[in-house]
């Protein structure tokens, strides 16, 4: 191990004296190498790579998944302006970095990707009504069409689009207000329907109570017979010595009250005669 480290240090020292430079290509990266200005056909793999500046250069390219965010104001088929926040996930394949470098250049994102994303958003959304942006199914369909458009434009050029995400949609103010009014009306209708159902249930409860009370009164009335009243009268007489019992007469007056009334009439007649 010590001998290997010593040899490696000696090699570094020799290369440094000759003006060599080292480039490290990590995982998720690829290198594009050119000798005397001519780009090699094959990308540089991961690892350490030595080269002499001025004769050779190596560019490091990111081949991992990347994101581009775009905010666009686009008209709908009705001419209403909506604001869309779109994310596009893309990558450059390992085998395509040389092709992208030779046909587009290092600034491929600004050169082709961003313009195509803007064009896709405007071309696709302009064919839909605003209500399509309001529904989940409509947004998914729009995202799928943008995805297909970008892959059709960029797939043969070495840039691969992985997914299109509609992060946020800001609807026109007039349309948003109409949706809010519609939702409020639906909530009020649901509230009225609940109140109507509750009123019906309350009425059913009151009817049930009234029917129960009427049946109870009918049962009580049918159970009060002359025999039952006579039994209750006799039972009352035996239950207490101090109880006063009124027995109705033919004049619909209790017996004792009737005697008092006769005494009152006699007294009145005697005073009148005097």
Total Cβ atoms within 10 A of residue 43: 22
273 domain-assigned:
no
pLDDT at 148: 93
Which structure tokens are listed for 214?
Answer: 């009427």
pLDDT at 151: 92
179 domain-assigned:
no
206 domain-assigned:
no
Which structure tokens are listed for 179?
Answer: 């949706």
Q: Are residues 25 and 116 in the same domain?
A: no
216 domain-assigned:
no
207 domain-assigned:
no
Q: Are residues 118 and 37 in the same domain?
A: no
Q: What phi and psi values does residue 34 have, to the nearest 5 degrees?
A: -135, 135
Task: Please give the Cα distance from 113 to 105 (Å, whole number).
Answer: 12
pLDDT at 101: 93
pLDDT profile of the chain (274 residues), mean per 10: 66 57 88 90 88 86 93 80 88 91 92 93 84 80 92 90 87 62 70 85 87 80 69 66 56 51 58 54
pLDDT at 17: 47
CA 130 to the chain's CA centroid: 19
Nearby residues of 45 by Cβ (< 8 Å), 6 or more positions away: 25, 30, 31
CA neighbours within 13 Å on the CB side: how many for 212? 6
Q: What phi and psi values does residue 94 have, to the nearest 5 degrees?
A: -55, -40
182 domain-assigned:
no
Q: Are residues 70 and 144 in the same domain?
A: yes
Q: Structural domain of residue 19, as residue ranges?
A: 2-62
Task: Please calculate the CA angle 40-45-47 and round it to the nearest 5 degrees.
Answer: 125
94 domain-assigned:
yes
């Amino acid at each position: 191990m010590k001998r290997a480290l010593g040899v490696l240090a000696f090699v570094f020292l020799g290369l440094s004296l000759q003006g060599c430079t080292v480039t490290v290509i990590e995982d998720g990266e690829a290198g594009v190498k050119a000798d005397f200005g001519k780009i090699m056909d094959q990308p540089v793999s991961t690892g350490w790579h030595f080269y002499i500046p001025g004769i050779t250069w190596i560019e490091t390219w990111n081949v991992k998944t990347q994101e581009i965010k775009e905010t666009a104001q686009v008209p709908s088929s009705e001419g209403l302006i909506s604001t869309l926040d779109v994310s596009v996930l893309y990558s450059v394949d390992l085998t395509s970095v040389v092709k992208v470098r030779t046909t587009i250049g290092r600034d491929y994102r600004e050169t082709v990707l961003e313009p195509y994303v803007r064009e896709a958003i405007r071309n696709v959304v302009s064919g839909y009504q605003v209500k399509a942006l309001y529904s989940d199914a409509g947004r998914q369909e729009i995202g799928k069409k943008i995805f297909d458009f970008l892959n059709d434009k960029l797939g043969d050029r070495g840039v691969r689009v992985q997914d299109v995400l509609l992060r946020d949609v800001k609807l026109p103010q007039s349309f948003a207000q109409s949706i809010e009014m519609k939702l409020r009306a639906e909530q009020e209708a649901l509230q009225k329907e609940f109140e109507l159902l509750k009123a019906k249930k309350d009425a059913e409860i009151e009817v049930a109570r009234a029917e129960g009370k009427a049946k109870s009164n009918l049962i009580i009335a049918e159970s009060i017979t002359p025999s039952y009243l006579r039994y209750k009268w006799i039972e009352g007489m035996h239950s207490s010595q101090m109880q006063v019992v009124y027995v109705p007469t033919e004049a619909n007056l209790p017996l004792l009250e009737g005697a008092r009334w006769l005494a009152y009439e006699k007294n009145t007649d005697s005073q009148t005669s005097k």
